[in-house]
């Protein structure tokens, strides 16, 4: 079945460092791709999404580009802040139906130190 | 803002007990979901519902059931709790009619989770 694989964490960075969190996927169809973020003590919230090949999703300084040829959707940010410390989940949904059923990766914890 | 409220933040139950986890959303969303979150495993879908009284099994439905009698409320039921059901449970909702296209791209709105411990 469809699946999402993320790099293992935790990822520990100093403030203003460059961030990359790798995400690759396996899907039989042509999925849409998402990044969700979970801040401490909270539920998940949508960070960005891309619905077709070469689309770039962006939000709050984060970016990810849908790469069909490498089946990847890596998350990047040029300069992280302490407030970016959270767990990041890559996810996909199949292009069928309207239930928005998502398949999630295992999550990557980011710790940003001052 | 969409608000998804889970009735309990922390819950401790004994093995064999029947457990109810409640979730309410205030945005008239058609779709509702129950996930469990475990370290190293990410989120796994237990059940979802796309309309009142409708339900579909997710990837790990064994040991669980659900109820959706009203559009805004989606309950997860552990018929006989076991220690391997100790986990964080997350409820979410979405609407295929929120303007996103295609409709399955509608974002999920999550509650803050219920941490269940079964002893």
Q: Does the pLDDT of residue B18 top 90, yes or no?
A: yes
Instruction: Between B40 and B70, name the one with better pLDDT.
Output: B70
> B43 in contact with A at a CB cutoff of 8 Å?
yes
> B117 in contact with A at a CB cutoff of 8 Å?
no
Average pLDDT over residues B82-103: 81
Distance CA A57, CA A72 (A): 13
pLDDT value at position B106? Answer: 75
Cβ-defined contact of B45 to A101 (cutoff 8 Å): yes
Q: Are the CB atoms for B105 and A93 separated by under 8 Å?
A: yes
DSSP SS3 for B74: strand
- Neighbouring residues of B76: CB distance < 8 A, sequence distance ≥ 6: B20, B21, B23, B34, B46, B47, B64, B65, B66, B89, B91
Average pLDDT over residues B3-14: 94
DSSP SS3 for A82: helix
Instruction: Between B18 and B58, name the one with better pLDDT.
Output: B18
Q: Are the CB atoms for A47 and A36 separated by under 8 Å?
A: yes
DSSP SS3 for B83: helix
pLDDT value at position B103? Answer: 54
How much of chain B, in percent, has pLDDT values that exceed 90? 69
Average pLDDT over residues B42-58: 90
CB contacts < 8 A, A to B, total 80
Distance CA B61, CA B67 (A): 13
Please report which confidence band the pLDDT of residue B40 belongs to, taking 50, 70 and 90 as the band edges: confident
pLDDT value at position B77? Answer: 98
How much of chain B, in percent, has pLDDT values that exceed 70? 91
pLDDT value at position B41? Answer: 87
> B4 in contact with A at a CB cutoff of 8 Å?
yes
């Amino acid at each position: 079945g469809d699946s999402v694989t993320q790099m293992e964490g935790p990822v520990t960075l100093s403030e203003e460092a460059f961030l990359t969190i790798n995400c690759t996927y396996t899907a039989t169809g042509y999925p849409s791709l998402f990044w969700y973020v979970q801040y401490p003590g909270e539920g998940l919230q949508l960070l960005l999404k891309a619905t077709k090949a070469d689309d770039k999703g962006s939000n709050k300084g984060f970016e990810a580009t849908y790469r069909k040829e490498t089946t990847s959707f890596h998350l990047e940010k040029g300069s992280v802040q302490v407030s970016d410390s959270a767990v990041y989940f890559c996810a996909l949904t199949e292009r069928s139906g309207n239930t928005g059923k998502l398949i999630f990766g295992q999550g990557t914890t980011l710790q940003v130190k001052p | 803002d969409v608000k998804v409220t889970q009735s309990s933040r922390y819950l401790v139950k004994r093995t064999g007990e029947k457990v109810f986890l409640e979730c309410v959303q205030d945005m008239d969303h058609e779709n509702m979901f129950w996930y469990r979150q475990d370290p190293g495993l990410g989120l796994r879908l237990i059940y979802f519902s796309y309309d009142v009284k409708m339900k579909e099994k997710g990837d790990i439905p064994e040991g669980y059931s659900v109820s959706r009698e009203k559009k805004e409320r989606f309950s997860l039921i552990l018929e006989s709790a076991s220690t391997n059901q100790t986990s964080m449970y997350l409820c979410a909702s979405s609407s295929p009619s929120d303007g996103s296209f295609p409709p399955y791209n509608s974002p999920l709105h999550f509650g803050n989770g219920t941490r269940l411990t079964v002893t």
